């Protein structure tokens, strides 16, 4: 959003958000509403049912979190053991955790409590939370149904219900459970559904559970993002592709590398770590504690590379991801858009690279056409101008956030910067011993991150500053070969140098972000 747009846009206060929540939003560095929030808040704050459709990264979590907390605070329903007054249903553990992190600061400001419910972990802490009494529950359907069956929780006092990523619930086969849960909430309560599409039975949920809903769509469900640049790199063979992966994984920017299988994700994270590029993995074979550790290391900036299956395509909401790499083209176009949506979020710029071999060319072209991405594949190596330019541009984008070329990525709230140092070396050793994850234990975590951050910044200034500056200078004269507009690359003449005119033109427009993918 431009400064002119911000000046003309209504503020949260103008939209009717209570002042105590406006202050909390400012403290969260969310002072200005995004389009989906501007469009939905007048209705949701008034208690109307809403069907919202917007891409991940468009701000839909706050679009339902704000009215949820505001209405509970105004209703003063009181807290009782085992009977929450608000329910948010999410398809994956990662997404449930991310939603909780967004809701908690608002709930705390209003004197409300939040708990997260999902499987794969002991249910004892969840039982204890309900026994104490909790206002807002963010839950995955399976574990919540288990707790209801055991008599731990009832939903008969729920005043506000949110169904997030309903289409992904359908993809995972959760709609029968979601239907049973929604049936246990009061029919006269407020309900807010958010979904990228209305297929696979989602439309039936809407008809059954929403009363005269306000239907608000920000962007078509599968349109590309203007500030996202797409690249397709064809490697000469498997070994050349491996070197390309290492090149794209190197640097100080946060990046996510997507693989098709859990085994590939685990193997690649270990290979990168052994090659001196600290990486963590995220996939369905990890325990919940390992998932939490790895995602925390990535979110904090302690590790810059996350290697993931599609479990991260919807569940990972981390600011400042500059590059998404499809190590193999995904199976279908929705997965492409969902994965790619981890970058260029909330108005930021980002790049997406798809790697392929010659044998995958036809399938990849079909995939991109269905995704609405006009881009031409280019045969490259690690030293090709297109690759050098991309690495340089990502480095340049990181530098202003970090205080100059060669310094680590801008840290997330309450986190440290990146780079290489004794701290990073220690993380590499830990990752090599295990599954690529960070060390456990909350007690020493902050001290470790602080020490690592100091060492990283020293090592980065001493060892990588010149390299990053050199990449940035090289990027200024090398062509980026492809864009979301499908512009053909301008290759340099034989023996000549690339020209700046060959760099891609990013399409600019309203700040939007793309939709998420299928968990594994």
Range 70-81 average pLDDT: 93
**pLDDT at residue 210 in the model:** 95
Q: Which of 225-234, 309-318, 488-497 has the highest mean pLDDT?
A: 225-234
Rg, Å, the chain Cα set: 23
Beta strands in 109-227 (DSSP E): 114-117, 136-139, 160-164, 190-194, 214-218
Exposed/middle/buried for residue 27 (C-beta within 10 Å: 0-12, 13-18, 19+): exposed
- Element spanning 50, H or E: strand 50-54
Sequence-ordered list of residues with C-beta below 8 angstroms from that of 128, at least 6 positions apart, any chain: none
The DSSP code for 308 is E
Angle between the 93-109 and 19-27 helix axes, to the nearest 10 degrees? 130
Q: Tell me if 3-218 shares its fold with 228-440+448-502.
A: yes
DSSP code at position 419: -
pLDDT of 490 strictly over 90 = no
Q: Which of 433, 423, 452 is nearest to 270 (CA)?
A: 433
Interatomic CA distance for residues 266 and 262, integer angstroms: 6
CA–CA separation, 316 vs 409, rounded Å?
A: 18
**Lowest model confidence (mean pLDDT) among 6-20, 195-209, 328-342, 395-409:** 395-409
Over residues 311-339, the mean pLDDT reads 82
Q: How confident is the model at residue 438 (pLDDT cuts 50, 70, 90)?
A: very low
Higher pLDDT, 27 or 476: 27
pLDDT at residue 334, rounded to an integer: 79
Name the pLDDT band for 7 (thresholds 50, 70, 90).
Answer: low
Average pLDDT, the chain: 77
Is residue 31 left, alpha or beta, with left meaning phi > 0 and alpha meaning psi from -120 to 50? alpha
Q: How far apart are CA 162 and CA 210, in angstroms?
A: 11
pLDDT at 403 over 70: no
Residue 218 has a pLDDT of 73
pLDDT, position 8:
64
Q: Where are the domains of the chain?
A: 3-218, 228-440+448-502
The DSSP secondary-structure symbol of 189 reads: S
pLDDT at 160 over 60: yes
- The residue behind tokens 């951050």 is 453
Residue 262 pLDDT exceeds 50: yes
Residue 231 is classified by DSSP as E
Task: Report the C-alpha gap between 403 and 322 in whole angstroms.
Answer: 16
When mean pLDDT is compared across 70-84, 177-191, 256-270, 464-478, the lowest value belongs to: 464-478
Q: What is the pLDDT of residues 92-127, one digit of tens each?
A: 888 899 899 999 999 999 999 999 999 988 999 999
DSSP structure class, residue 110: T
108-113, long-range: CB < 8 A, 24+ apart: 108/24, 109/20, 109/21, 109/23, 109/24, 109/69, 110/20, 110/21, 110/69, 110/70, 110/72, 110/73, 111/73, 112/69, 112/72, 112/73, 112/136, 113/79
Superfamily of domain 3-218 in the CATH hierarchy: P-loop containing nucleotide triphosphate hydrolases (3.40.50.300)
**How is residue 30 written in tokens?**
């969310």
**What is the model's pLDDT at position 103?**
97
Q: Which run of H or of E encompasses 323?
A: strand 321-326
Look up the CATH number of domain 228-440+448-502: 3.40.50.300
pLDDT, one tens digit per residue, over 208-232 is 999 999 998 875 444 445 578 899 9
Mean pLDDT for the stretch of residues 285-289: 84
Please give the Cα distance from 383 to 447 (Å, whole number). 39
C-beta of residue 196 within 8 angstroms of C-beta of residue 350 = no
The residues pairing with 215 across neighbouring beta strands, listed in sequence order, are: 51
The C-alpha atoms of residue 202 and residue 356 are separated, in whole angstroms, by 34
- Of the pLDDT bands very low, low, confident and very high (cuts 50, 70, 90), residue 18 is very high
């Amino acid at each position: 959003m431009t400064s002119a747009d911000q000046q003309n846009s209504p503020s949260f206060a103008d939209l009717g958000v209570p002042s105590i929540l406006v202050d909390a939003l400012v403290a969260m560095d969310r002072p200005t509403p995004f389009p989906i929030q501007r469009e939905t808040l007048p209705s949701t704050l008034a208690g109307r049912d809403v069907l919202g459709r917007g891409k991940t990264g468009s701000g839909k979590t706050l679009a339902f979190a704000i009215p949820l907390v505001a209405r509970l605070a105004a209703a003063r329903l009181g807290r009782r053991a085992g009977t929450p007054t608000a329910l948010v249903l999410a398809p994956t553990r990662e997404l449930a955790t991310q939603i909780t992190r967004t809701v908690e600061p608002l709930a705390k400001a209003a004197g409300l409590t939040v708990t997260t419910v999902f499987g794969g972990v002991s249910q004892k802490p969840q039982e204890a939370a309900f026994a104490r009494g909790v206002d807002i529950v963010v839950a995955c359907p399976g574990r919540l149904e288990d707790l209801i069956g055991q008599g731990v929780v009832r939903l008969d006092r729920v005043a506000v219900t949110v169904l997030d990523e309903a289409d992904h619930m359908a993809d995972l086969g959760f709609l029968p459970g979601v239907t049973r849960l929604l049936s246990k909430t009061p029919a006269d309560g407020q309900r807010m559904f958010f979904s990228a599409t209305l297929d696979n039975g989602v439309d039936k949920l809407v008809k059954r559970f929403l009363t005269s809903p306000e239907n608000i769509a920000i962007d078509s469900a599968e349109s590309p993002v203007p500030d996202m640049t797409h690249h397709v790199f064809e490697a000469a063979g498997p070994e050349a592709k491996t070197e390309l992966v290492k090149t794209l994984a190197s640097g100080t920017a946060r990046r996510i590398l997507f693989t098709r299988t859990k085994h590939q994700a685990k193997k690649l994270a270990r290979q990168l770590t052994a090659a001196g590029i600290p990486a963590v993995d995220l996939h369905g074979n990890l325990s919940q504690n390992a998932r939490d550790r790895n995602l925390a290391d990535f979110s904090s900036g302690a590790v810059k590379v996350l290697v993931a299956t599609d479990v991260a395509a919807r569940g990972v909401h981390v600011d400042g991801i500059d590059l998404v790499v499809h190590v193999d083209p995904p199976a279908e176009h929705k997965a492409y858009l969902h994965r790619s949506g981890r970058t260029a979020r909330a108005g930021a710029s980002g790049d997406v690279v798809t790697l392929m071999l010659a044998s995958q060319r036809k399938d990849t072209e079909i995939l991109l056409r269905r995704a609405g991405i006009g881009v031409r594949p280019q045969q490259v190596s690690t030293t090709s101008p297109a690759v050098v330019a991309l690495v340089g541009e990502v480095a340049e984008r990181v530098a202003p956030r970090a205080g100059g070329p060669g310094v680590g990525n801008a840290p997330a709230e309450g986190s440290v910067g990146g780079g290489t140092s004794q701290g990073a070396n220690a993380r590499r050793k830990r990752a090599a011993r295990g599954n690529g994850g960070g060390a456990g234990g909350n007690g020493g975590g902050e001290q470790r991150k602080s020490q690592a951050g100091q060492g990283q910044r020293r090592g980065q200034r001493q060892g990588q500053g010149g390299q990053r500056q050199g990449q940035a200078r090289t990027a200024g004269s090398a062509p980026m070969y492809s864009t979301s507009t499908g512009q053909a690359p301008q290759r340099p003449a034989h023996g000549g140098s690339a020209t700046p005119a060959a760099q891609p033109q990013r399409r600019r427009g309203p700040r939007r972000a793309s939709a998420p993918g299928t968990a594994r």
